[in-house]
Chain A
Amino acid sequence: MIATPVRPRRLWSQRLGRTLVLWSASLAFLVYVLAPVAWLFSSSFQTEREIVSKPPHWIPHQPTLQNFAAIFAAKDRSVTYETRRAADPATGGYIPSTAASLVPAIGNSLIVACAVVVLNLLVGVPAAYAMAKIQFRGRPVSIYAILATRVIPDIALVVPFFLFIRNLGLLDSLWSLIITYLAVTVPFSVFILVSYFESLPDELDKAARVDGCSRLQTLTRVYLPLSLPSVVAVMLFAFLASWNEFLLALMFTQTPKSQTLPIIVASFTSDFTISFSFINAAGVIAVIPPVILAVAFERYIVSGLTTGAVKG
């Protein structure tokens, strides 16, 4: 009786305080994460002069698409010391000397990433099914072995990989990247899939086999449809890992024939002069494929994160 008029007010103020704290913390985090991305987008629509102006313009005063146009027109423009000297740096009138390689590099990156995704699934899904559901001698060892490869940092593998790739005669070929990225991504993919398959009941496997499925059919008709969230997670992981990879690509690729996006974009910063407008436009283009993937599979990503909890 006595407490009733007081308690709601205190609760209300407590709730408000908590909401405020949560909101401001979330906001700070969002700004921290999104500000660089926002600047990337904003500046990709600005001229060189506007980008370097002080204070910076978050919203372009004179939005322009010329940076993007320059990327796709790069192959028709020759970049020499003379053309650069003639151009005015402040207007973005020049492009990096490797600019013409950017569009082919996007193609290379897409080819490598897609090949790595497909091969990851072809190798990882059956391997994970076998490790999760088939009893065989050495099964625990094989799981540990495959996980152990993940504790080795990539830098330690660069030299063995390099010798391996050189002896296969695959230097400066997309295959060098596909093969080494597989070695790096497959263990993690298998790990994700094994834990997901293990969470699916064994009786489902038995039921399918008694119902007339071979092992392969059990996998394709029962397990795969049920593991879409983890399969999507694996696809995204493999795609992003290949799309972003820098170190191995730097070692194995030498010419625009095989160079990928991160290598070319990085080369823009080591030119005679740096064109921020061009680099930022290239950065935006590099962000687009992963964003499309994430949006397309958003439904599965969210359910993939929570499936462990709601598995019936």
Chain B
Amino acid sequence: MARIRFDGVSKRYGDVIAVRALNLDIHDREFVVLLGPSGCGKSTTLNMIAGLEEASEGELWFDDEVVNHIPPHHRDVAMVFQSYALYPHKTVYENIAFGLRMRRIAPAEVDRRVQDAAKKLEIANLLRRRPSQLSGGQRQRVALGRAMVRQPAVFLMDEPLSNLDAALRISMRAEIKHLHEEMRTTFVYVTHDQAEALTLADRIVVMRDGLIQQVGTPDEVYEHPSNMFVASFLGSPPINYLEGAIEDGASAPVFRRGSLRIGLPAGKLRDVSAAPVVLGIRPEDVMRDCPAGGPVLTGVVDSVLPVGSDRFLGLKVEGCDVFVRVDKETRHAQGERVNFGLLPERLHLFDKVSGGSVFGGAA
């Protein structure tokens, strides 16, 4: 059982503020992913949960207890590190057992848990090796095992998959998700990989410069980003931005850039007169056929980039580069003028100055 609550928590290193007035409520047994670029404060936040860093201000709660001053070895947390941080002088078995031995668990129980975890992680045959004799993937499993056997109330992971190759990373994602379901405990996971966050999280916390940008389910964060930073951080290739202005149309407001006019959904805009604005279109949110009366994106094909499963087209739209995804059968020639249909409810509109979303409320 562990609910974690940040109440106005800040962390300073001298003059540098790593985390600013963080308020966050992580529910018991939730899988929360802290997502952001390097230096956004996500690892600092994780270290504060572990007790490896002490908050400069504010209170950190575990259930009904303030834990600010409780050292890591008195907190019921386990952690997996990016570099795995296995003890080089101990065997795999001793690495996994170490946390239990430090907590004076009976030797028979230690052995049972280590064997159990090793079986689950398929490393039972490696128990007598040393970390230096293992591959990256195997080390990762040992690191997971070391955290698993502790049966902690909070399971922390700091970019655990970043050092693995792409294929292994995807299979380990599934295993981690599995692990969460099995352990039924609170997971806090730090990553800069948006795909990892979208796959794993119950809720994603997007951070930048020590500030939370948005908290929400993967769908919420992806479909309704609260600002341009969140919108561009999630999705690959990233969302396209077109700067322009808003005009009143016949029935609904219209986005205008040069000769381009795109009708916006009626009644969603917070403030129609907000100008200048930035229109966001995700590469996958275009259709080959244009429904009558619906918004249309017109551009000239500048580049064609097949990626196997799909093709991406680089378009020139009113002097801007726009990437769109089309299916792999579609053939376009360079220099061809193309029209794509857009779904009004899939468009994103931001205030150019503040970067915040101009669409009011989630659709």
Contact = CB atoms under 8 A, between A and B. Distances in A.
A312 B132 contact: yes
A209 B52 CA distance: 8
Nearest to A203: B85
B322 interface: no
A211 B88 CA distance: 15
Interface in B64-96: 71-73, 77-79, 81-83, 85-89
B261 to A, nearest CB: 54
A246 B103 CA distance: 50
B87 A213 contact: no
Given A210-B50, A212-B99, A226 B88 contact: yes
A217 B78 contact: no
B281 to A, nearest CB: 41
Contacts, number: 60
Contacts of A37: none
Given A206-B47, A206-B50, A211 B89 contact: no
B85 A201 contact: yes
Interface string B191-217: 000000000000000000000000000
Interface string B93-135: 0000011001100000000000000000000000000001000
A160 interface: no
B146 interface: yes
B102 A211 contact: yes
A211 B146 contact: yes
Contacts of B99: 210-212
Given A201-B85, A204-B85, A211 B98 contact: yes
A209 B72 contact: yes
A206 B87 CA distance: 11
Interface residues of B, number: 26
Contacts of B81: 203, 206-207
Interface string B284-300: 00000000000000000
Contact of B87 (A210, A212, A214, A222): A222
A213 B102 contact: yes
A292 to B, nearest CB: 26
Interface in A165-204: 201, 203-204
A225 interface: yes
A211 B77 CA distance: 8
Given A206-B81, A209-B52, A226 B73 contact: no
Interface residues of A, number: 17
Nearest to B53: A135
Of listed A203, A209, A210, A222, residue having the most chain B CB within 10 A = A210
A312 B84 CA distance: 12
B88 A210 contact: no
Contacts of B150: 211
B117 to A, nearest CB: 14
A222 B102 CA distance: 12
Contacts of B83: 201, 203
Question: Chain A: interface secondary structure?
Answer: helix
B92 to A, nearest CB: 14
Contact of A212 (B47, B103, B132, B156): B103
A210 B72 CA distance: 5
A207 B50 CA distance: 10
B73 A212 contact: yes
B168 to A, nearest CB: 19
Contacts of B52: 206, 209-210
B122 to A, nearest CB: 22
B73 A203 contact: no
Interface string B134-159: 00000000000010001000001000
B15 to A, nearest CB: 14
Contacts of B87: 204, 207-208, 222, 226
Contacts of A214: 71, 73
Of listed A201, A212, A213, A225, residue having the most chain B CB within 10 A = A212
Contacts of B51: 209-210
A207 B89 contact: no
Interface string B12-52: 00000000000000000000000000000000000100111
Contacts of A225: 89
B77 to A, nearest CB: 6
B171 to A, nearest CB: 24
A201 B81 CA distance: 11
Nearest to A212: B102
A204 B50 CA distance: 14
B158 to A, nearest CB: 8
Contacts of B89: 225-226
Nearest to B50: A210
B69 to A, nearest CB: 15
Nearest to A204: B85
Contact of A209 (B73, B82, B86): B73
A87 B263 CA distance: 121
A210 B77 contact: yes
A209 B146 contact: no
B234 to A, nearest CB: 28
B290 to A, nearest CB: 53
Of listed A209, A213, A222, A225, residue having the most chain B CB within 10 A = A209
A201 B158 CA distance: 15
B77 A209 contact: no
A312 B102 contact: no
A203 B82 contact: yes
5 contacts: A201-B85, A203-B85, A209-B52, A210-B79, A213-B73
Given A209-B73, A210-B73, 18 more contacts: A203-B81, A204-B85, A204-B87, A206-B52, A206-B85, A207-B81, A209-B51, A210-B156, A211-B78, A211-B102, A211-B146, A212-B73, A212-B103, A213-B102, A222-B87, A225-B89, A226-B89, A312-B88
Top 10 closest pairs, chain A to chain B, by CB:
A212-B102, A211-B99, A203-B85, A207-B85, A209-B72, A203-B81, A210-B79, A212-B73, A225-B89, A210-B72
